[in-house]
Structure 1
Amino acid sequence: MKSKLRNLLLRFLPDTAQILGVGLGGYIGVATGEAMGAALGGVSGEVIGRVSKDLIERILSEKEKGRIEFIGYYSEIKIRKLLDSGSSVREDGFFENIDEISFADEIFEGVLIKAKNAYEEKKLPFIGNLFVNSVFSSISTDDIHQILNLSDQLSYNQLVLINIIQSKIAGFMKIAEMSEVKITDDKIGLYYNLIELQTKGVILDIHNEGDLAITGDRTVDFKGCALTRLGERIYKVLSLNEIPLEDIERTMRIIT
């Protein structure tokens, strides 16, 4: 069973790019060598024919093609690394066809669509992580769909804030010793990002009955700020621990 799933998975991503006219073999060849590129480019499969049939009937801009190309390449490399390191793909029916389509088909199509429309291209790796992690994690398909739908509603800066709150690196940046953070003009964007995260049920204040502790003069208490269960799932499924340090430091400078 594991061998069958592995073979299916290794067919999965290359065919997506072929059907979309992106040419996965070409850009993998550039990145990793002609031999590997040629091998992947020649792979034939049926799964992605169902996933991408609708997409190929649309006219994609060069940027949209580039985003889809990136997701194909990024996901392929990450999945291969995890398989080669001994990680096991899920065996709960995720890849099995129901009415000629599998949950894997649905999720991957959703990821492609979100990636195509992602004008904040820094979000692309994390959108790709959603599919990669869904392949190896037992997270329910309902949770995956919920996070996928939220992925284009959350800005990249909000993803950075989720990382900061979950990993509690604010303590390292000395914010743990502060009881308040003043929100001045240069911090107004961060303030509204926090409000939106709270409204969407991603963060809460454990010391203020769940509501983010914000006073009338727009003072935010970060000490009790935490992720909800939804926020924790977003952090895990999108692998937000991989947010670049420079982006975290940039946000921390605004906070402090």
Structure 2
Amino acid sequence: MEKEKFIDGAAECGGSALGAVAGVGISAAIAGPTGVVVGALFSTVIENTFKWAGEEIKTRCLSKVESKKMNAVCQLAKERISEKLAAGECLRQDDFFNTEEGDRTSAEEILEGTLFAAQRENEEKKLPYLANLYANISFVEFISRPMANQLIKLASSVSYRQLVILSVIGKSQGGDCDIKLRNTAFRGFENYDGASIAAEIYDLYRSSLIISSDAILDAASFTPALLVMNGLGELLYKYMELYNMPIDKEGQEIIEFLTDRSPNPEKGKVVTGQLPIETRAEIEAMVERKTADIPQLRVRREMNSAGGETVTIG
């Protein structure tokens, strides 16, 4: 199949994230077809940027699936830009859309990064949020070229479920919805589902997209109510428009996990992970005391697989 057909001929996509733009290729998006793009007239700089992207992509060999994903993000980004222009917002007035001699514009570079993030993305539900990110970057002057590349890289690296986690934490942090995160710490999980979600949260914490007023030493011990978005996490939340993310099945699972809505939250839990400070202090005091009221006290310390210390008291 010719390369152009990968770009210009998107197949039917059913009910996936691509469904809204099924049958619309990169070239069609550049031309601005009626009935698809809201508002027929874009500024010349936007049209030139998307035209450049379309011509560049045509030189690459893509699979049908890759083509469809890139088509979707290209089209959705144009629609979101059109909506913002129609609402009276102005494109950034710095050099984002301007080029120096022998160089391409920042707008072209960031669009290419966004589209090729879409090409590699296996979770189609992330595609609208990648499109939102590019569209919003086109309006926000304080997001420099390096920062924009960093945001695209971060958005590409996190999972859809991690975006849902950011959405839930952000909505709770803003107080705009009835989501009250539990204020008691986890001490382990009764099943792999909980452990898997906790690992996603811990990964966001290690990436500094979220922070906690209490240090989180491993994935098995943290207090949801103490989690807040940090710097770049806030930027992803705002400019990927995660505040508009609907509560789907995964969203409901995250909400139940991070709140006290899950049934029997403490029943059958296996205590794993880092002990709270007060418990560790009590153990240390017991070890040091060696008083007559605990004549048979035996304490054994071992390094565990999580990199912490397991203390066995007998």
**TM bucket normalised to smaller:** 0.7 to 0.9
Is 1:24 the counterpart of 2:31? The answer is no
**Taking structure 1 as the reference length, what is the TM-score of the superposition?**
0.77
CA distance in 1 between counterparts of 2:50 and 2:170 reads: 35
Q: How big is the alpha-carbon RMSD for the aligned residues of Structure 1 and Structure 2?
A: 3.2
- Aligned twin of 1:76: 78
**Which one has a bigger Cα radius of gyration?**
2
- State the aligned residue count: 228
TM superposition score normalised by structure 2: 0.64
What is the aligned partner in structure 2 of residue 3 from structure 1? none
Q: Which residue of 1 aligns with 2:239?
A: 237
Amino acid of the structure 2 residue aligned with 1:212: I
Gaps of 5+ in 2: 9-24, 263-314
Question: d(CA) in 2 for partners of 1:229 and 1:153?
Answer: 17
Counterpart position of 2:110: 107
Matched residues, percent identical? 22
Q: Distance in 2 between the 1:196 and 1:104 partners? A: 30
SS in 1 for 2:91: coil
8 A contact 2:91–2:139 mirrored in 1: yes
For 1:137 and 1:18, locate their aligned partners in 2 and report how far apart those are by CA, in whole Å.
35
Q: Is the 8 A contact 1:50 1:105 kept in 2?
A: yes
Where is the helix percentage greater, Structure 1 or Structure 2?
1
Distance 2:252 2:124 in 1: 19
Taking structure 1 as reference, are residues 27 and 47 closer, same or farther at Cα in structure 2, changes over 3 Å only?
Answer: closer
Stretches of 4+ aligned residues off by more than 6 angstroms: none
For residues 122 and 167 of structure 2, the distance between their equivalents in structure 1, rounded to whole angstroms, comes to: 21
**Is residue 2:203 matched to residue 1:200?**
no
Mapping of 1:1-256 within 5 angstroms?
A: 20-21=7-8, 22=25, 23-24=27-28, 32=35, 46-48=48-50, 50-98=52-100, 99-138=102-141, 139-168=143-172, 172-176=178-182, 178-181=183-186, 182-185=188-191, 186-206=193-213, 208=214, 211-212=215-216, 218-246=220-248, 247-255=250-258, 256=262
Residues in 1 aligned to 2:172 and 2:154: alpha-carbon distance in whole angstroms: 23
Structure 1 counterpart of 2:206, which letter? Answer: T
CA contact (8 A) 1:18 1:24 kept: no
Which string of whole-angstrom CA distances, capped at 9 and with x for unpartnered residues, describes residues 44-101 of structure 1? Answer: x654454455432322111111111111221121111111111111001110012341
**1:189 CA drift (Å):** 0.9
Specify the code of the residue in structure 2 equivalent to 1:59.
C
